[in-house]
Amino acid sequence: MVDLMAVHPLISATRVAGALDMSINAALQILERLVRNGVAIEATHRSARRLFGLAGLHGIQDVVARPGGGAPLVAAKDDGVAPAPLRFERSLVEPEELDYTELDAAMKAADAAVRVFLARVDPIATT
């Protein structure tokens, strides 16, 4: 688990559960135990969708925004000016003719190498 946390500086219980093939609840319990033991920190200060990191990342808690109520909704002012219409210009791109001669040669060489390998291995396998 700690190795997984070292690879992902911030990790959720869902990601841990998927990576370690366990239930989300079990992953969350393990992460909470790591927090209690001082190995990990909980960085998001939430009750849901929490993110955890290794204890050496204490500064990350200052960067991750605490949940808030959000900004109050303000009605847009009507200044009488209509917004400019969006214009999209599309141009057709002619498909490029692809040259597959090198790919064909490489595939033939790979097929030949596999045939040679199988010819050498088959007598060994049948003995």
Over residues 14-61, the pLDDT tens digits come to 999 999 999 999 999 999 999 899 888 888 777 778 888 888 776 666
CB 1 within 8 A of CB 30: yes
pTM: 0.48
Identify any residues that bridge with 42 across adjacent strands, giving them in sequence order: 52
Question: How many beta carbons lie within 10 A of that of residue 17, not counting itself?
Answer: 18
The whole-angstrom separation of Cα 113 and Cα 106 is: 11
Assign 67 a pLDDT band (cuts: 50, 70, 90).
Answer: low
What is the DSSP pairing of strand 40-42 with strand 11-12? unpaired
